Amino acid sequence: MKNDESVIILDFYGQYNQLIARRVRECNVYSEILPFNTPIDKIIEKKPKGIIFTGGPASVYADDAPKCDPKIFDLGIPILGICYGMQLMTYTLGGTVLRAEKREYGETPVNISTSPLFEGFENTNICLMSHTDFVSQVPVGFEVIGNTSNCPIAAMQNVDKKLYGIQFHPEVNNTVKGTQIIKNFLFNVCNCTGTWKMSSFVQDSIKTLRERIGDKKALCALSGGVDSSVAAVLLHKAIGKNLTCIFVDHGLLRKNEGDEVENIFRNQFDINLIRVNAKDRFLAKLAGVTEPEKKRKIIGEEFIRVFEEEAKKIGTVDYLVQGTIYPDVIESGLGKGATIKSHHNVGGLPDYVDFKEIVEPLRDLFKDEVRKTGLELGIPENLVFRQPFPGPGLAIRIIGDITDDKLNILKDADAIFREEVANVGLDKELNQYFAVLTNLKSVGVMGDERTYDYTIALRSVTTSDFMTATWSRIPYDLLEKISSRIVNEVKHVNRVVYDITSKPPATIEWE
């Protein structure tokens, strides 16, 4: 992606690393997350206007603590260290970090001093603290610019070297005016101009894709979801009829969704579309498989195999287009970071792919940025704001093995959930909602007879970026109606539960 200015976020296994990147982009500055051990040469090549160190669970004194190359402090690039990032900056530059007698966690008043970082702030600000270690002595050349009742050094700065550290988390909503702190760092310290926007991304991407692919042919992996749909239209504007979209109906879509996807793209877009009905093929591959990561990898490889077969029917096709987005890349493992889950179009790809190159035009975008891109491209709002749906489909919403009978149970239950949510107008407020077929059976009573059937779990979240999410407070009377309908209308279900777990600690999907 072409950017006149960017900021690098070095990830030290921080819980909120993606959220930091989002906050930077909200300020119209492009950001990129890199592993903490990224070589200095690679950082220099990217010519960042600034660097942000994330938090992390480690102690700087631990043998296996993640540490970056100390030379990074000699580059003359402004650096903001957050939580563990501040402690690492202190430790590396000769200050002192100690273990606190009492962990500081929660919304805490922070007394702040004059600083480019705190321009526009009062003397006290509520911030989210989450740390066990603390800075007891700043490095030479630094001054203390923040403290709390339990933390004597909650913020520090070396104005001359443009090095800043804060013990709290400005990226979360719990910190009052937290985004303003990040904005102050970007504009007051890094001298960013904030020129990055989606319209320029669309124009630059179309031009780049046209130059990259030329008159060669490309296949697009179209699922009908937001990501692949935006990728398809973006490619179509770049190479026109040289793009063919392959819609693989693997039988793992929501009720009637296959026909809906086909109708949208045949009627609303002048795009070459091939629908491949491959339900039996996928179910055969997934037979008896219960482990979610194995499901994802099987589906990922089978997708590729189907594309290869369709490509041979078309002729010479050099490029495979996928709707991979940034959260997919991050959650599938960034550098040596922990893999949360392999996405079928990232970590699930097979070792050998029979295409010259894989094109992922949305790889650097978060979900809300993908939606903005879709609107810039003229895609109808009803498709742009369609409910997110995972590439592996219902395979990861069925806990345990997958059968045709289980699919039908889940499709019917999920359709009832979505219908009732839409009936009361909540479909535009809830960012993602769906049903899960658990592998739990329990005793019930229906018509004075004992039953022993499945439990359906309902899941709904509210989120702005899909990196963090809170469970939706759906009205009880609506939940009651949904539960009653599912139990009475869907065979082999006798119990409905509602998931009230946020992300983190859970992910949005169950698998």
Cα separation, 50 vs 230, in Å, equals 30
Question: For residue 459, is pLDDT > 90?
Answer: yes
Within a 10 A sphere around the Cβ of 377, how many other Cβ atoms? 19
pLDDT grade for 346, boundaries at 50, 70 and 90: very low
CA distances from 414 to 248, 384, 499 (A): 21, 21, 14
Radius of gyration (C-alpha) of the chain in whole angstroms: 25
* Architecture in CATH for domain 404-498: 2-Layer Sandwich (3.30)
Which pLDDT score is estimated for 331?
63
For range 3-10, the mean pLDDT: 87
Catalytic one among 169, 236, 250, 344?
A: 169
CATH class label, 6-189:
alpha beta
83 catalytically annotated: yes
pLDDT grade for 389, boundaries at 50, 70 and 90: confident
Strands 272-277 and 243-249: parallel
In this predicted model, what pLDDT tens digit does every residue of 142-200 receive, in sequence order? 999 999 988 999 999 999 999 999 999 999 888 999 999 999 999 999 999 998 887 77
Cα separation, 311 vs 460, in Å, equals 38
Q: Looking at mean pLDDT, say which of 79-83, 124-128, 262-266 comes out highest.
A: 79-83
Helix axes 279-286, 292-314, angle to 10 degrees: 140
Question: For residue 347, is pLDDT > 80?
Answer: no
Catalytic one among 104, 171, 257, 301?
A: 171
In this predicted model, what pLDDT tens digit does every residue of 227-246 receive, in sequence order? 989 999 999 999 999 999 98
Catalytic one among 5, 27, 68, 83?
A: 83
Average pLDDT, the chain: 89
**So where are the chain's domains?**
6-189, 201-384, 404-498
Percent of the chain whose pLDDT exceeds 70: 94
- Was domain 201-384 assigned CATH 3.40.50.620? yes
171 catalytically annotated: yes
Place of tokens 């200015």: 5
* CB-facing half-sphere around the CA of 9: CA atoms within 13 A: 29
For range 191-218, the mean pLDDT: 90
Which pLDDT score is estimated for 342?
40
Q: Between these two residues, 64 and 386, which has the higher pLDDT value?
A: 64
CA 89 to chain centre: 28
